[in-house]
Amino acid sequence: MNSQRPVNLDLRTIKLPITAYSSILHRISGVILFLGIAILLYGLQKSLASEQGFAEVKECLASPLAKFVVWGLLSGLLYHLTAGIRHLIQDMGIGNTLEGGKLGAKIVFIVAAILIVLAGVWIW
């Protein structure tokens, strides 16, 4: 029996690198966008069906909860966009080193945070 094996793997104590958090959040934002498209398409379909439907969607989008949902979807889109651009840059061979990956992840977090704050200001 190998004594080097971990006896109890506690996932809460494992420290992931910043590149892992960036990758995990990129995947999560993609799932959020996939699910959010259904909400947005429903609103679009309802607003195009009739004048009454358009008025209902317009009234719904004026509520703070709807603004928060739209901001959440827009936040997911902006993060996914910035992380996707990072991946495209890495596909060109730029930033493929460990230090380049860490710097790229930090830049993605900073740029996405700025864009998300600006989107929140724009929505409210």
How far lies 44's CA from each of 36, 37, 64, 65, in Å? 12, 10, 19, 18
Binding positions for heme are 80
For 68-76, the CB contacts below 8 A with 24+ separation are 69/39, 70/123, 71/119, 71/120, 71/123, 71/124, 72/32, 72/36, 73/32, 73/33, 73/36, 73/39, 73/40, 74/116, 74/119, 74/123, 75/116, 75/119, 75/120, 76/29, 76/32, 76/33, 76/36
Binding positions are 80
